[in-house]
Amino acid sequence: MTGNNNTLENPKGSDFAIQRVQTLLFNKLPWENVQMYGRAVKVPHPEEKTRFTPQVRKTNGDHADPLRDDAFAANIFFTVADRANTAEGVLYKVECKIIVMLDLKKVYPNFNGLADEKAHEDVLRVLKTQKNFAPTSIGTGLKECFGEFDVENIKFTDIQPNHFFCVTGQLSYNISC
């Protein structure tokens, strides 16, 4: 795959587990020109504290808006729930969402027909090989994928060739103290 895989230098906890999934997707998806990020944090909207925008960290340490950038065929980032559960105090599990935004014509230039399900299959095929992320559902559309995030900056609608989908699952990771 070509594009940018924005990784962290020394990730810990859920960021370490996310980066493993992130790098696997970047290396194994059969797509070109992908902008890949790790975990997005919720930044409160300056005027309305109940609205949030997603912010991710780039490899160089700068923060970025991970929402759809038409310079890339696809943009991918992760979100996690506010609470992680543990039974043993070492292995934690948290609901994690992988958000995928793509231009299907750029990702599959020679594919005839609707390619949204092909994109879902490509992502799930790679995730099936990862042991620390167990998919539980697929969602489509802005509301399902972005939930509490303010998506006013997204200039694309979820209509072919643009497509937004998310894979939600349980992310497992260790915390060693």
The total number of structural domains that make up the chain? 1
For residue 20, the domain's CATH number is 3.30.2000
Per-residue pLDDT 10s for the chain (177 aa) are: 789 999 999 999 999 999 999 999 999 999 999 999 999 998 887 777 677 888 898 877 788 888 877 899 999 999 999 999 998 788 999 999 999 999 999 999 998 878 999 999 999 999 999 999 999 999 998 888 888 787 776 666 667 788 999 999 999 999 876
Inter-CA distances, 135 with 9, 128, 148, 152, Å: 26, 8, 21, 28
Tokens (6 digits) for 167: 């894979």
Q: Which domain holds residue 97?
A: 3-174
Whose structure tokens read 């949030």?
52
pTM equals 0.92
Sorted by sequence, the CB contacts under 8 Å of residue 160 that are 6+ apart come out as 104, 114, 116
155 torsion bin: left (phi>0), alpha (psi -120 to 50), beta (else): alpha
Q: Are strands 133-140 and 162-174 parallel, antiparallel or unpaired?
A: antiparallel
- Going by the DSSP 8-state scheme, the letter that residue 40 receives in this structure is P
Q: How many CB atoms lie within 10 A of CB 80?
A: 20
Query: Which residue, 76, 98, 87, is CA-closest to 1?
Result: 76
CA 123 – CA 129 distance, rounded (Å): 11
Type of residue numbered 56: V
